[in-house]
């Protein structure tokens, strides 16, 4: 089952790195009719993608910032090419507020259809990841040349939480952002769609998932210890709260997917 689904990420070119966290592709091959719904892990980011299915060719899809996982039905021969934004760049790249896209998953709203129509038209109709990623990044480089730069204070807060895997005390995050804590608590959800504590919990969860993907399956208790959870029970509670199921179920889903170069 490890070849049923394939997920690849690619670091962005330096010219677009202030806005784009990663470019990614996802594809399904021949899936059985009873293949279970696929849960998309929360990441606190907005993703824009071009979806190709046997029924519909090159439609634009959006996954907004989310605190909890989202389930999606899959069928065979899907090809999806997308890019993941830094949590604080949704508005500057899409023209739509992060809050308005929170927990949204589906076809791009009309405003985004117009803004990203050129992306769907630009991507070559091939499966070669290098070719498609190169075309995507060229288009993004041209499109983002005049995009507003992110607020350095919010970016500093995001980076502090990423660097500490979601474990930094909130007062420390505020100091990194050179803002008062209450001001940061107000500004952060405006920019990202998530509260500070929600984003911190998402970061910790993604670190645990990355540990599970990157190495021979260690025990979840060891992963809990290495990623800032108090114990295995704490990790399990967070998986249930953010994904809707226990770590063992997460491991079963990951076993259906070949991952390459995943950026937590």
Residue 226 in tokens: 């290495």
Q: Who has greater pLDDT, 126 or 155? A: 155
* Residues 201 and 209: beta-carbon distance below 8 Å: no
pLDDT tens for each residue of 50-59: 999 888 778 9
pLDDT tens for each residue of 178-214: 999 999 999 999 999 999 999 999 999 999 999 888 8
pLDDT tens for each residue of 201-257: 999 999 999 988 887 666 899 999 999 999 999 999 999 999 999 999 998 888 889
The pLDDT value given to residue 85? 97
pLDDT tens for each residue of 58-111: 899 999 999 999 999 888 999 999 999 999 999 999 999 999 999 999 999 998
Compute the distance between CA of residue 236 and CA of residue 219 in angstroms, rounded to an integer: 12
Closest CA to 259 of 90, 7, 3, 4: 7
Q: What is the mean pLDDT of the chain?
A: 92
Compute the distance between CA of residue 20 and CA of residue 86 in angstroms, rounded to an integer: 6
Sequence-ordered alpha helix ranges (H) in the chain: 90-94, 98-101, 110-122, 129-143, 152-163, 170-176, 181-192, 196-214, 220-226, 232-243, 247-254
What's the distance, Cα to Cα, between the start and end of the chain in Å?
23
């Amino acid at each position: 089952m490890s070849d049923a689904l394939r997920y690849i990420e690619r670091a962005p070119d330096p010219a677009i790195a202030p806005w784009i966290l990663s470019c990614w592709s996802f594809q399904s091959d021949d899936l059985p009719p009873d293949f279970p719904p696929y849960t998309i892990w929360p990441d606190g980011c907005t993703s824009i993608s071009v979806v190709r299915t046997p029924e519909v060719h090159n439609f634009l899809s959006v996954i907004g910032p989310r605190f909890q996982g989202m389930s999606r039905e899959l069928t065979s021969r899907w090809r999806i090419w997308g890019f993941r934004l830094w949590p604080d760049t949704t508005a500057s790249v899409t023209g739509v507020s992060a809050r308005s896209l929170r927990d949204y998953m589906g076809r791009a709203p009309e405003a985004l259809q117009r803004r990203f129509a050129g992306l769907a038209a630009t991507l070559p109709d091939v499966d070669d990841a290098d070719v498609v990623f190169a075309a995507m990044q060229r288009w993004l480089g041209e499109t983002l040349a005049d995009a507003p730069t992110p607020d350095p204070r919010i970016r500093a807060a995001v980076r502090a939480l990423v660097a500490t895997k979601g474990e930094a005390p909130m007062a420390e995050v505020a100091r990194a952002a050179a803002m008062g804590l209450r001001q940061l608590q107000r500004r952060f959800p405006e920019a990202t769609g998530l509260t500070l504590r929600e984003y911190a919990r998402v970061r910790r969860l993604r670190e645990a998932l990355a540990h599970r993907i990157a190495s021979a399956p260690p025990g979840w208790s060891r992963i809990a210890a290495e990623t800032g959870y108090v114990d295995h029970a704490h990790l399990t509670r967070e998986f249930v709260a953010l994904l809707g199921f226990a770590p063992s179920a997460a491991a079963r889903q990951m076993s259906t997917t070949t991952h390459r170069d995943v950026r937590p």
